[in-house]
Structure 1
Amino acid sequence: MKNLVKKVVMIAGIAIISAGSLFAQKSGVFKSFADFTSGKMEYGIDCATEKHKIRLNEFLGKDFITVVHEGKPYNLKKNEIWGYQLCDDKIVRFQDNEHYPVADKGILWIYTKQTVKGAGYRGGTKTITTYYFSKGGDNGILELTPLNLKASFPDNHVLHDAIDAQFKSSSSLSEYDKFHKQYKINHFLESQGIK
C-alpha cells in the first residue's frame, strides 16, 4: 500500500511539473501567423528565467520595433512581422506599420487602439479607444463597424439583418460580456452558428 501511495504522489508531482512547463509564460516575436499558431518565436524567452524588452518606437514614428534580447538591440520592420507576445500574455499584431493589441480571440479577433486627443486651449487630454476586428488572426484588420462586419460575411443576408437588429450602433459592437468572458459580438456570432 505504501508503494502505491508513493507512486501516486510521484506521478502527481511529475504531472504538476509537466503542466507548469506546458503553460510557462513566454515572450517573443512572431514572423507570421503560422509561427504564432505553432508557437515558433524569434527572440523568444521564458519569462520565469529571462528578461528582454520590446519597444514599439511609436512616439518616434519609426517603421520598426526594437527587441533588446540578451543585451543586444535588434530592429525588426513592422511590415515584416506578424506581431509579438509579452510576458503578461498580451499579444500585439501589426498591419501597415500600425500596432493592434489583441483584446479577444474568437470568431472575430477584437483589437483595441487608444489615442490621446488634446482638449483644446484649456488643456487636458482625452483617451479615445477605437475597436478593430479581423476574421481570425491572419486576415486584414478593419475598424469594428456594422458595415465592415457585414462586408466580412458578404453573402449572409440573414446575418446582416440579425446584426442590425441586435446592435444599434458601432459602440454596441464593442461591448464586453462579463458573464461569457468575451465581446458580445463574438458571443452573438456563435449563437448564430457562424464559424
Structure 2
Amino acid sequence: MIKQHFIYWIVILSCFNNPIFSQKDTSETMGGVYLTTDDFKKGKLMYDIDCSTEKQKIKLFNFFTKPYFDVYYQGEKFRLQKNQVYGFKDCHDRTFRFYENMEFQLVEAGKIYLYFQEQLMFTEKAGSSSDAFFFSTEPGSVIKPLNVSNLKKAYPTNKTFHKLMDTQINNRNINAYDSLNKMYKINSLFIESLSKQ
C-alpha cells in the first residue's frame, strides 16, 4: 500500500512540473497526436495544430493513472485510450510515446530508440528527482530500462556491441552524450559495432 501511494505521488508531482500544462507558442512547430507507429514513422499528426497560432491542450490524467487522455481540438473534446495511441508531439517540439499507460519522452530516434522520464521520489523529510532512461529496439517495440544487461539481451548476437559496451560504458554513464557524433554514446557504439561485423 505504501509503495502504491509512493507511485501516485511520483506521478502527481511530475505532472505539476510538466511543461505540457504551461505551453508557450513556438513558431514553425506543429503539435498533435500520433495514432499509430506508422503515423509516427511518417510524421503524420492527427488533431494537429500550428503552435505559433493555436494553444495545444492535452490532458493526461497522470495523477489518477487513467488509461485515457483528452485532446481538445477545434472546440471539441476527444477522449483517447493510451493503449490505442502511439503518442503525441507537444508545442515544445518534444515527442512522447505511450507505453503501459505512461508517457516516455523520446530523446533520440537512432538505431536504438532512447526515452527519458524524470522520476520524483519523496521521503518524510525531502524530495528528489532522478533521470531515468529507457530504450526500445524499434519505434513500436517494448520499452525497457536502459542498462548494459538489457541491451545485451536485446541484441544477443551482436558480440561486437557487447565488447564495446564492456570496454567503454557502464550503467552509471550509459546515458552519456557523444558530442563529436552528435548522438547518445550508446547509439554511437551500436553503429560502430555494425561497421565491424
TM-score above 0.5: yes
SS at match of 2:83: helix
- Residue from 154, 164, 182 that aligns with 2:156: 154
Q: 1:70 is matched with which residue?
A: 74
- What is the alpha-carbon distance in structure 2 between the residues aligned to residue 136 and residue 115 of structure 1? 24
Higher Rg: 1
Q: Does 1:37 align with 2:41?
A: yes
SS at match of 1:172: coil
Please say if residues 29 and 52 of structure 2, whose CA atoms lie closer than 8 Å, have aligned partners that are also in contact.
yes
Runs of 4+ in 1 over 3 A off after TM superposition: none
Query: Which range moved further: 173-182 or 51-60?
Result: 173-182
Residue identity in the other structure for 2:58? I
Q: What is the CA distance between 1:43 and its match in structure 2?
A: 0.8
| Percentage of pairs with the same residue | 29
Q: 2:92 is matched with which residue?
A: 88
Q: Does 1:57 align with 2:31?
A: no
Q: 1:9 is matched with which residue?
A: none
Cα deviations by residue, 1:98-142 (Å, 9 ceiling, x for unpaired)? 110111121111111111111x33x22000111101123122111
Residue identity in the other structure for 1:71? G
Name the Cα RMSD after superposition.
Answer: 1.9
Q: 2:186 is matched with which residue?
A: 185
Q: What is the CA distance between 1:174 and its match in structure 2?
A: 0.8
Residue identity in the other structure for 1:112? F
Number of equivalences: 170
SS at match of 1:187: helix
Q: What is the CA distance between 1:149 and its match in structure 2?
A: 0.4
Please say if residues 56 and 90 of structure 2, whose CA atoms lie closer than 8 Å, have aligned partners that are also in contact.
no
- What is the alpha-carbon distance in structure 1 between the residues aligned to residue 153 and residue 140 of structure 2? 17
Please say if residues 146 and 170 of structure 1, whose CA atoms lie closer than 8 Å, have aligned partners that are also in contact.
yes
Unaligned 5+ runs, structure 2? 1-26
Please say if residues 52 and 70 of structure 1, whose CA atoms lie closer than 8 Å, have aligned partners that are also in contact.
no
The two structures have a TM-score, normalised by structure 1, of: 0.80
Unaligned 5+ runs, structure 1? 1-22
